Amino acid sequence: MDTDVFVIGSGPAGIQAAIHASRHKVSVTVAGKPSASAAAGPEMDNYFGTGHVSGSQLIAEGIRQAESTGAVFVGQNVISSSRGGDGSFRFVLDDGTEVVSKAVVIATGISREKLGIPGEKELYGKGVSYCAVCDCNFFKGRRVVIVGNESEAAISAEMMTGYASETSWVAWDMKASQVLLEKAEAAGVRIYGSKPLAIVGETKVEALELEDGTRIPMDGVFIELGARSAADIALDLDVMPELDDTIKVDTGCATEVPGVYACGDVTGKPWQVAKAVGQGCVAGTNAATFVKGER
């Protein structure tokens, strides 16, 4: 699939970027699941001109607007990204679809999700991790469990089979694609369908207890509750994220790599819809003008 501008993230920032990019008569494709946006669901009372309105209503109307101008929403997560030798950007989605674009807008938001179960906070850094890619080498030849329902958990589970002696994956509300699920199973991942109840251990992780009474002995637990992070995508595109995993942009929402833009929560605080929408407008407009050779 070829597109001029590829927007990663279908929350307020990404949708606004899609609206403005497509209005400049370039092809726009948007990846991501609207329901995963931090703005989905909560009611807002501090966004200009809306009074009390739910984030889900804003997102639904925004998608309608973007689609009316030609933007295409694929409703899938990005599982890998890279730069092509010809200056293009290449991505792979959940179902294996490849997307090639001339410009990209990173608008994934930031992951603030935690399980909130006993032992998670106490054993962080003692076997509890939120990044399998970052910490995989520490668990060579050991037993690990991946916790999460989305594509990132599936990818991490398959990857960890190349490091761990035993890899389990706990997904109580499976949202990863069938393709990723089959890859994990083929790699030997043991899958559990019950929700985590507690992480057990005194000075280090010893086991994960599930709501159905199952106890999984282990040495490490990787909590991967969302899609691929903005920092991971940025690194793949040769953009160096900040120490707090945010992405540095200039006043035009451009990163250090020509053709790569970022907007919304990924650029730092304040985490507000007003800021996300404003930056989305700037990022989408500039991505389109970059494609058209006007920048």
For 276-285, how does the pLDDT look when each residue is reduced to its tens digit (9 = 90+)? 999 999 999 9
Residue 82's CB is within 10 A of a number of other CB atoms, namely 12
Are 196 and 280 within one domain? no
Predicted structure pTM score? 0.74
pLDDT at 243: 81
Residue 247, phi then psi, degrees to nearest 5: -115, 125
Task: Write down which residue in 178, 203, 223 finishes a domain.
Answer: 223
Q: What gap in Å lies between CA 201 and CA 197, rounded to an integer?
A: 13
Residue 284 lies in a domain: yes
SS3 string of the chain? CEEEEEEECCCHHHHHHHHHHHCCCCCEEEECCHHHCCCCCCEECCCCCCCCEEHHHHHHHHHHHHHHCCCEECCCCEEEEEECCCCCEEEEECCCCEEEEEEEEECCCCCCCCCCCCCCCCCECCCEECCHHHHHHHHCCCEEEEECCCHHHHHHHHHHCCCCCEEEEECCCCCCCHHHHHHHHHCCCEEECCCEEEEECCCCCCEEEECCCCEEECCEEEECCCCCCHHHHHHHCCCCCCCCCCCCCCCCCECCCCCEEECHHHHCCCCCHHHHHHHHHHHHHHHHHHHCCCC
Tell the residue number behind the tokens 């935690």, with chain if given: 114
Task: Write down which residue in 190, 223, 256 finishes a domain.
Answer: 223
Are 17 and 38 within one domain? yes
- Mention every residue, 6+ apart, whose C-beta is less than 8 A from residue 85: none
Task: Write down which residue in 180, 203, 223 finishes a domain.
Answer: 223
pLDDT at 41: 63
pLDDT at 111: 67
Residue 123 lies in a domain: no
Are 232 and 218 within one domain? no
Residue span of the structural domain in which 241 resides: 2-111+228-291
Residue 148 lies in a domain: yes
Residue 87 lies in a domain: yes
CATH number at residue 188: 3.50.50.60
Positions of the chain with pLDDT lower than 70, given as ranges: 38, 40-42, 111-113, 227, 295
pLDDT at 169: 97
Q: Please give the tally of structural domains in the chain.
A: 2
pLDDT at 232: 83
